[in-house]
């Protein structure tokens, strides 16, 4: 079973992004489970979304405490050191940050992408989740781009084409950085 956690702030699309990624994996024939820790609907409040992917029905119903991969929509959330500490050994951290390349950070493999800049260019700000999903798919190779694009089209509450463009741009920016393997 593959376990992914998305950290964002209210308004960035963490929850919807998580559901879109679930949809992309579902389209590949996998079983998925997506949910988010919710509460008030306040803009800017930290939001955590969870995604499980498996080849068989998923029975466990609990928060993901040790994810294989983490997607961070707002780098200031990393001030909470427990987020990076919870990553499984060999896991990847996808961060929305204007830093080039793949610097090692606390022995965690990091992919940075300036999703805010891409989303701004596409008129999507503050929604950066679809951009980060492109980065995730490109770098990891875990989900085919065409499935992700389909899922973004179906799952975007608005501006589907802009979301797709941002997603695809980030995909190619990160494509082939390193295959993670399932």
Partner 1 sequence: MLTQVATRHTRILLTGDHAVAYAALRARPHLIPVYPITPQTPVLEKLLELQELGELTADIMTVESEHSAMAACIAASLAGARVFTATASQGLALMHEMLHYAAGGRAPVVLVNVNRTLASPWGFWADQTDSLAQRDTGWIQLYCESAQEALDSVLQAFRVAEALLVPAMVVIEALYVSHTLEPVEIPDPELVDEFLPPYEPPVRLDPATPRGFGGTTAPVQWRANRLALKAAMELALDAVEEAGRRYGELTERAYSSVETYRAEDAELVIVTAGGIAGTAREAVDQLRGQGIPVGLVKLRLFRPFPSARVAGLLAGVGKVAVIDRNCSVGSGGIFCQEVRAALHAHRVTGPQVFSFIAGLGGVNVSADRVMEICRSALNAVSAPPDPILEERL
Can you give the binding site for partner 1, defined by CB under 8 A? 19, 22-23, 26, 31-39, 57-63, 65
Question: Checking DSSP bridges between strand 46-54 and strand 2-9, what pairing results, if any?
Answer: antiparallel
Q: Name which of 36 and 149 has its Cβ closer to partner 1.
A: 36
- Least distance in Å: CB of 38 to partner 1? 6
- List the one residue out of 139, 153, 172 whose CA is nearest residue 70: 139
Q: Name which of 1 and 99 has its Cβ closer to partner 1.
A: 1
- Least distance in Å: CB of 172 to partner 1? 27
Q: Name which of 119 and 152 has its Cβ closer to partner 1.
A: 152
- List the one residue out of 176, 172, 182, 125 whose CA is nearest residue 148: 172
CA–CA separation, 81 and 19 (whole Å) = 26
- Least distance in Å: CB of 99 to partner 1? 32
- List the one residue out of 99, 178, 100 whose CA is nearest residue 136: 178
């Amino acid at each position: 079973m593959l376990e992914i956690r998305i950290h964002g702030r209210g308004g960035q699309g963490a929850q919807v992004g998580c559901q879109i990624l679930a949809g992309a994996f579902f389209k590949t024939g996998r079983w998925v489970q997506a949910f988010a820790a919710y509460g008030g609907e306040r803009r800017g409040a930290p939001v955590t979304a969870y995604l499980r992917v498996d080849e068989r029905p998923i029975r466990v119903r609990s928060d993901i405490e040790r994810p294989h991969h983490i997607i961070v929509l707002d780098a200031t959330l990393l001030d909470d050191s427990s987020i990076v500490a919870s990553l499984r050994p060999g896991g990847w951290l996808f961060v929305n940050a204007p830093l080039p390349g793949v610097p090692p950070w606390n022995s965690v493999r990091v992919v940075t992408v300036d999703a805010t800049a891409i989303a701004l260019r596409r008129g999507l700000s503050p929604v950066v989740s679809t951009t980060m999903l492109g980065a995730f798919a490109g770098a990891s190779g875990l989900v085919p781009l065409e499935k992700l694009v389909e899922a973004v089209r179906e799952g975007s509450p608005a501006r589907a084409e802009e979301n797709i463009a941002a997603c695809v741009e980030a995909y190619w920016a990160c494509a082939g950085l390193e295959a993670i393997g399932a």
